Amino acid sequence: MPDEQPTETGNCYACKREFSYDPKEVTTFLVDLATGLPPGLTAFGTIRPATPEAVQRSVDLPVCPDCVAAAKRAGEAGGLWR
Ligand SMILES: [Zn+2]
């Protein structure tokens, strides 16, 4: 089956806005579905070792370019953004 449409549509993890993206190019954010936070980050914003279970149930959610730019400007996300 030819891959004629390189773009997908999804909702931004940060702002929930619907946007189109190229799955190969988009910035994603690894989120533990049980907590809504990245594995290894607690609700208090402190870092803890990510358990294999947390990583296993985590999914990569797309983040729109606007939020990526905002996060980079804020400069406080540290190594969370990739
Ligand atoms: Zn966004």
In a domain, 77, yes or no: yes
What pLDDT score was predicted for residue 81?
47
Q: With respect to residue 68, please indicate whether it lies within any of the assigned structural domains.
A: yes
Q: Which long-range contacts (CB under 8 A, 24 or more apart) does 71-80 make?
A: 71/14, 80/29, 80/38, 80/41
Residue 68: what residue type? Answer: V
Split into its structural domains, the chain has a count of: 1
pTM of full prediction above 0.85:
no
pLDDT tens string 25-45: 999 989 998 888 888 877 787
pLDDT confidence band for 48 (50 / 70 / 90): confident
Ligand 1 centroid to residue 19 C-alpha, Å: 8
Exposed e or buried b per residue across 21-38, where buried means at least 16 C-beta atoms within 10 angstroms of its C-beta: beeeebbbbbbbeeeebb
Domain that holds residue 80: 29-82
Q: Residue 3 Cα, ligand 1 centroid: separation in angstroms?
A: 26
Percent of the chain scoring above 90 in pLDDT: 44
Q: Residue 9: inside a domain, yes or no?
A: no
